[in-house]
Structure 1
């Protein structure tokens, strides 16, 4: 018998007959099927009727086949062992489905079961140097199993080496080698024939380690402060670094913030580089390598066209691309899960609905923590996908920009009672309708990118109905913070309700760049100046070069949905009464924006005119002079650790009490945000700052 799925403790034939007899004698009601993946303890009552599977993939395949034969709803419970599940290929769950009303529950061991897309390669390492607490190794692909070597070669021919989340000794994530070790360096000039497709970036000085690296990559803000680029260096010589000219500014202005990575030298340890010509990965560790995990799978779990799946007590880790993908599915839920060490997104939903992520810890991912996309904008049918009571930290490690902790598209997504911490740009990026962002703590964001917001939306007059309320935004650690915004309603974002938020230490607390029908009500600003800025972006002289790109009918970036969605029909006209008149109005002029009941402590201000153009109506706002200590000011200037969040919030709260501002939302981190797995151990990030 090829399949290892069988009732535990019996021969296949006897066990099968016994299970069938049990079903028949119980009134043909087999509505709960338990499957223990090999290694699972079977001490629970009723274990005699429990099936066994050699692997999680085999258990899923059993469910697929068994579900096709059933005519009544069934619950499949797949129980995982404590031992890590090392995947040979991504887990795929798709149709055909069991009968309507059925569900699958995949549950890890009490301490959490790890599902990994990596392979252990320490037995193939060659120690090349060992001295002064540094251990350098080479991993020749010729020493690896053929299939593993081919997977890595194929991926490394198309992706940045940084997407390999390499882990040493089960705890330390190795970074791609880089120079400088932290921060950026400016380009002195752009050299070369302007008519050429390539250009040379010249620098004041390049060390030999850069010049002698044949597989060098460039990372940096090559055109704008809000857009990070990863690009291969085409060549390196005494003049500088050659790159594609189309990656640089058309006006020839040299980039101010650039660094190099995948250097063929170890300027710092706990790092690695890829040598394409030698076909080796090379590592430096501060301790001898006993285990070395290198991801070989793009994805760990792919759900497509499915209903009713719940995953609990699981750690998804070590994927080259997105760890978990959900497409065209309904009621796909993740509870008490950890997602970490993924080269792209943590969890991504597309064209799905009625799903939830709760008590999740998503961390150390290359792009977005979670992408929530579902519902239908034409009919305003909500998708109802949420992330709740979760924590997302150290995200956007590779892509750096337009890779938020949470991205929401479509209709009816929500982020509630979650902590978003330590990212280079946005915390939440949204488009679409009727989203809810409430009771969250967002801290230490925009640590690198400019012209960006903790919460950001732009370029769509029809993205209306979103509510942003009772969130706390903490502006710690902002080295490049002069260009930061708290809640950024950019480029004609309209129809938002922003209420009862607390914004601390962010230069532009709320910024509206044009737009209509926004309401900014009862927010509290602390040491955030200017606090509220309303601009008539469309009338700015410097912006006119982009006017046609945005406003030209019918395909301009900011108006294409206005002219393609049925905004003059139900349910749009009832939901957003003003929007039907937008086409007949001056779209560039801000209208019906309201700033009311906001309070300011320390250097608060409201800008509600842009020249002679009113941008908002202002009512009943008030301010108090800051008379507190310098302790809060110093805290906001510096980086903090996650363990310092409660202390920082208490410091803010004490200053508010001192100034008589006692009516505000509780200043504390959401209770039990993140996974509650006692076996959790987080990989050290070893960030080079």
Structure 2
């Protein structure tokens, strides 16, 4: 669907396709033409099944990254699995890009690599069940984005990540190579890889009201663009990050108005992560809550703020039925006493309805 508006694919089954099952995209017009691309807007894929595809499930693009105009395209209430028959990596169940698109109430599973690859701004990923992905690859995230600090305003909320690959470096949410400004709220991470969350050198990532259960590490954070020689060129003059920020005129409206922290990116030493916040989260049977990797560089500097409002326990804090993965909290759960601001996660709304 190229440059379409208000088109709906519903109750369809896509199977044994060579590449992606569905593509929603804009009409690409060369910049030299002096015109904006013709956007795809308010298109939906609903109640569909995608499986046994060759190079991914669904491409969901739309919106204008120059003006930050949202597209409103969405994938909803669908089941997407076994989508890497030919290409095993970087061909996700859903590849979301552009501005202002939504992935909600889906089940995504059975993949050697990522469930969702994210590019762009102001996307919403909510109420999805994501499991049995990242099965045979290393340095991978179920939800992954990276190497562009202008990707901001994205929200990941009320998802259930469970039973991810547990052999290599696997994560549920991966902020790679300086990725910034994602809000992660109200998710459940159960056996969600070897490192459920990895903040790789970025800033302004906020984690609130999440529950981490049965995992060796909760959150890993590093200052890679200070400490790792291979990462330093990314923020060097003329490097990839400078190029990508310049491409969207990051310090001018609309970016400077919608994301004021971004306008100060080069003034605040981008090699040092800042304003990453971990607040009002629960960690149940997590061996190491925070793993910091800094190679001895700036060991006195905070890479994230871990507040006293987080709760850590090795006991069942009052789940309805942990053995059967019902992580709804009983009204008598100790969590509501330990974290007075903690809100019930609406587990009954997660996944296809």
Instruction: Give the match for residue 468 of structure 1.
Output: 156
Instruction: Give the match for residue 339 of structure 2.
Output: none
> 1:380 & 1:391 partners in 2: Cα distance?
29
Give the C-alpha shift of residue 586 in structure 1.
Answer: 1.4
Higher relative contact order (CA 8 A, sep 6+): 2
> 1:383 & 1:654 partners in 2: Cα distance?
34
Any conservation in 1 of the 2:79–2:352 contact (CA below 8 Å)? no
Give the C-alpha shift of residue 488 in structure 1.
Answer: 0.6
Give the C-alpha shift of residue 668 in structure 1.
Answer: 4.8
Q: Deviations over 1:198-228 (max 9, x none)?
A: xxxxxxxxxxxxxxxxxxxxxxxxxxxxxxx
Q: Deviations over 1:457-487 (max 9, x none)?
A: 11101000000001000125x3x53311111
Aligned partner (choices 107, 111, 122) of residue 419 of structure 1: 107
1:116-515 matches, within 5 Å, as: 326-351=1-26, 352-476=40-164, 478=165, 481-505=167-191, 506-515=193-202
Secondary structure of the residue aligned to 2:12 is strand
Q: Deviations over 1:47-67 (max 9, x none)?
A: xxxxxxxxxxxxxxxxxxxxx
Give the C-alpha shift of residue 367 in structure 1.
Answer: 1.3
Instruction: Give the match for residue 258 of structure 2.
Output: 575
Relative to its length, the structure with more helix (as a share) is 1
1:524 aligns with 2:211: yes
Secondary structure of the residue aligned to 2:16 is strand
Give the C-alpha shift of residue 609 in structure 1.
Answer: 7.1
Any conservation in 2 of the 1:433–1:463 contact (CA below 8 Å)? yes
Larger radius of gyration: 1
Give the C-alpha shift of residue 580 in structure 1.
Answer: 0.6
Aligned-CA RMSD value: 2.3
> 1:672 & 1:585 partners in 2: Cα distance?
43
Aligned residue pairs, count: 323
> 2:114 & 2:137 partners in 1: Cα distance?
9
Task: Find runs of 4+ consecutive structure 1 residues off by over 6 angstroms.
Answer: none
Pair 328,650 (structure 1): closer, same or farther in 2 beyond 3 Å: farther
Instruction: Give the match for residue 565 of structure 1.
Output: 248
> 2:90 & 2:211 partners in 1: Cα distance?
27
Any conservation in 2 of the 1:598–1:622 contact (CA below 8 Å)? yes
Unaligned 5+ segments in structure 2 are: 27-39, 337-342
> 1:655 & 1:329 partners in 2: Cα distance?
40
Unaligned 5+ segments in structure 1 are: 1-325, 629-647, 674-689
> 1:661 & 1:337 partners in 2: Cα distance?
42
1:606 aligns with 2:280: no
Give the C-alpha shift of residue 602 in structure 1.
Answer: 0.1
Instruction: Give the match for residue 230 of structure 2.
Output: 545
Q: TM-score, normalised by structure 1?
A: 0.45
Any conservation in 2 of the 1:416–1:437 contact (CA below 8 Å)? yes
Query: Larger deviation: 610-619 or 422-431?
Result: 610-619
> 1:527 & 1:652 partners in 2: Cα distance?
12
Secondary structure of the residue aligned to 2:252 is coil
Pair 424,459 (structure 1): closer, same or farther in 2 beyond 3 Å: same
Any conservation in 1 of the 2:25–2:62 contact (CA below 8 Å)? yes
Secondary structure of the residue aligned to 1:327 is coil
> 2:201 & 2:51 partners in 1: Cα distance?
35
Pair 578,424 (structure 1): closer, same or farther in 2 beyond 3 Å: same
Give the C-alpha shift of residue 672 in structure 1.
Answer: 4.5
Pair 669,366 (structure 1): closer, same or farther in 2 beyond 3 Å: farther
Pair 664,609 (structure 1): closer, same or farther in 2 beyond 3 Å: farther
